[in-house]
Structure 1
């Protein structure tokens, strides 16, 4: 996300010097290898991804498409399914899941979740569905469950209420 032209030396330098960028660097390499025509690319990509899952406790499947500007604020229990297409400047916090629902009709077009640009997902949130579209400039609040489409420029959250019962 810089105005400077891309160079491998600068990318490797940032991956070594900035620990918060190592996950993105290695996941991008693994994703590229997984989607390439190289015969051993899928094997190497799966191995890199397995190491990332063990080290960071974050699983982003290699089939997922994610634009530039991915920010994972805390690498703790983040899961993104391979059927997801995410735009640029995506921010996700800890304990979030983005994936497809449990009942899939195999005769239909493959399930997909499309997330627009500049989307933030709060901690402990779930985005689950077979074909969802989340628009651009959307903020999803913490501890939310999303299973419906969300239009552009929206703040979405699941309303909660606290019920206290006293023992008699």
Structure 2
């Protein structure tokens, strides 16, 4: 029993440290040189519309990671509000590392079956992850420092390595090795005028 309580406290402390690290990089400053303080976080959230999304979404993820049903309910409410306000549907159960950057919020969908590394850059109208109709869940794993172009789909049980650039309008359903650039080939002309 005592070991369970210790595990719970350790998990809670790790979640809080992850929350602080994410807020330090995403809300306080991008280069990560400034130290964390709640005052700086609230100041940036108060005056920056874009920083508010990161703050509230990370807070919802933190609340969702707690064992309390009340906190999970609050996490769902915060996430639903963000979905309506920003047009972004990122599951609070998705595991996303610090340094997340959303260039344009509209139409970004990230399912709960995703693990995304640090410093991910995701552009508008991007879909990541999927649950198949037969109930088998495919886990999408994306490495560190991945840059995902606009209107891209990353679907299914795929692994994308570190330092990968995915071009605009690219459909990814196969594994991508690290240090790669993938893009959609040029669209052919169907009819000349």
Instruction: Give yes or no for TM over 0.5.
Output: yes
Tell me which residue corresponds to 1:68.
98
1:100 positional shift: 1.7
Tell me which residue corresponds to 1:28.
58
Give the alignment partner of residue 166 of structure 2, picking from 120, 140, 143. 140
In the alignment of these two chains, the number of paired residues is 163
Taking structure 1 as reference, are residues 40 and 153 closer, same or farther at Cα in structure 2, changes over 3 Å only? Answer: same
1:161 aligns with 2:187: yes
> Do the aligned residues in 1 keep the contact of 2:94 with 2:113 (CA within 8 Å)?
yes
* Structure 2, gaps ≥5 residues long: 1-24, 26-31
Give the alignment partner of residue 83 of structure 1, picking from 113, 132, 150. 113
Taking structure 1 as reference, are residues 105 and 51 closer, same or farther at Cα in structure 2, changes over 3 Å only? Answer: closer
SS of residue matched to 1:40: helix
> Do the aligned residues in 1 keep the contact of 2:127 with 2:154 (CA within 8 Å)?
yes
* Structure 1, gaps ≥5 residues long: none
> Do the aligned residues in 2 keep the contact of 1:104 with 1:111 (CA within 8 Å)?
no
> Do the aligned residues in 1 keep the contact of 2:120 with 2:146 (CA within 8 Å)?
yes
Higher relative contact order (CA 8 A, sep 6+): 1
> Do the aligned residues in 1 keep the contact of 2:63 with 2:74 (CA within 8 Å)?
yes
TM-score, normalization: structure 1? Answer: 0.90
TM-score, normalization: structure 2? Answer: 0.79
Structure with the largest fraction of strand: 1
Structure with the largest fraction of helix: 2
SS of residue matched to 2:150: coil
- How many angstroms apart in 2 are the aligned matches of 1:166 and 1:141? 26
1:53 aligns with 2:83: yes
Tell me which residue corresponds to 2:145.
118
> Do the aligned residues in 1 keep the contact of 2:129 with 2:138 (CA within 8 Å)?
no
